[in-house]
Amino acid sequence: MGDAEAIAEVASVYAELEKRPVERSCTRLTECCQFKLTGKTPYLTAGEAMHTAAALRAAGVHRISEKKDGSCPLLQSESGRCLIYEDRPFSCRTHFCQAAGGPYARREVVDLIRKLEDLDYAVGGCGAQSLPAALKEALERPVAKHGVRATVSPRSRGR
Ligand code: SF4
C-alpha cells in the first residue's frame, strides 16, 4: 500500500468517526495536550502517524522537538493551539478529555480501531507508538512523490 492510499484511508476513518452519533464537545481547551500533567500520551498507529506527518509537512513543519513542559510537541507555544487540529490523531478525538464528554466507549469505535490496526499492519507498522516517537519516525520517512498532501485537511490550522 502506498503512502497516499494509507493517508486517505486514515482520513476516511476520521470522517467516519465524525459521523458517529456520540455526543462530544471538544472546545479546544487543550488540557488533553498536556501529557505531563495528565499522565496520558496519545498512541498512534503507523497510518495515523503518516497522516499526521503529512499534515505537518503541509504546514511547513518537518521535524518536531520535545517540549520542556511535557506538553504535546504539536501544541504551539505562542497560540496555545494544536498545529494540525483538523488532522489530529484518533486518540485526540476519542480519549482523554473529560470536559469534552470523556473517552469513547470501545464498542462505539472498535470497528474504526480495527481498521487503523489493519492499516498499521498493511504499511509495515509494529503497533501503536506514543505520539512523539510515532511522529519522529514518520517525519523521517522519505516523502512519497504524489498525492500525499492533498489528502490532509486544508483547514488544519490552529487549535
Ligand atoms: S496532536 Fe494536537 S490535539 Fe492531539 S495532543 Fe497534540 S496538540 Fe493536542
The tens-digit pLDDT sequence of the chain (159 residues) is 889 999 999 999 999 998 886 666 677 778 889 899 888 899 999 999 999 999 999 999 999 999 999 999 999 988 889 999 999 999 998 875 666 666 777 888 899 999 999 999 999 999 999 999 999 999 998 876 544 444 566 555 444
Q: 151 vs 32, 54, 58, 101, CA distance in Å?
A: 26, 9, 10, 29
In a domain, 157, yes or no: no
In a domain, 141, yes or no: yes
In a domain, 105, yes or no: yes
The answer to whether the CB of 112 is under 6 A from ligand 1 is no
The answer to whether the CB of 132 is under 6 A from ligand 1 is no
In a domain, 158, yes or no: no
The answer to whether the CB of 82 is under 6 A from ligand 1 is yes
Instruction: Give the domain extent around 8.
Output: 3-151
In a domain, 42, yes or no: yes
50 CA to middle of ligand 1, Å? 15
Report the alpha-carbon distance of residue 52 to residue 122 in Å, rounded: 17
Task: Determine which residue's CA is closest to atom 5 belonging to ligand 1.
Answer: 33
pTM of the model: 0.85
Task: Determine which residue's CA is closest to atom 1 belonging to ligand 1.
Answer: 88
In a domain, 74, yes or no: yes
pLDDT of residue 156: 52
The answer to whether the CB of 115 is under 6 A from ligand 1 is no
pLDDT of residue 107: 80
- Give me the number of domains the chain comprises: 1
- For the chain, helix (H) and strand (E) counts, in that order, are 6, 2
In a domain, 106, yes or no: yes
pLDDT of residue 88: 94
In a domain, 56, yes or no: yes
Task: Determine which residue's CA is closest to atom 2 belonging to ligand 1.
Answer: 82
- In the chain, the DSSP E strands lie at 43-44, 129-130
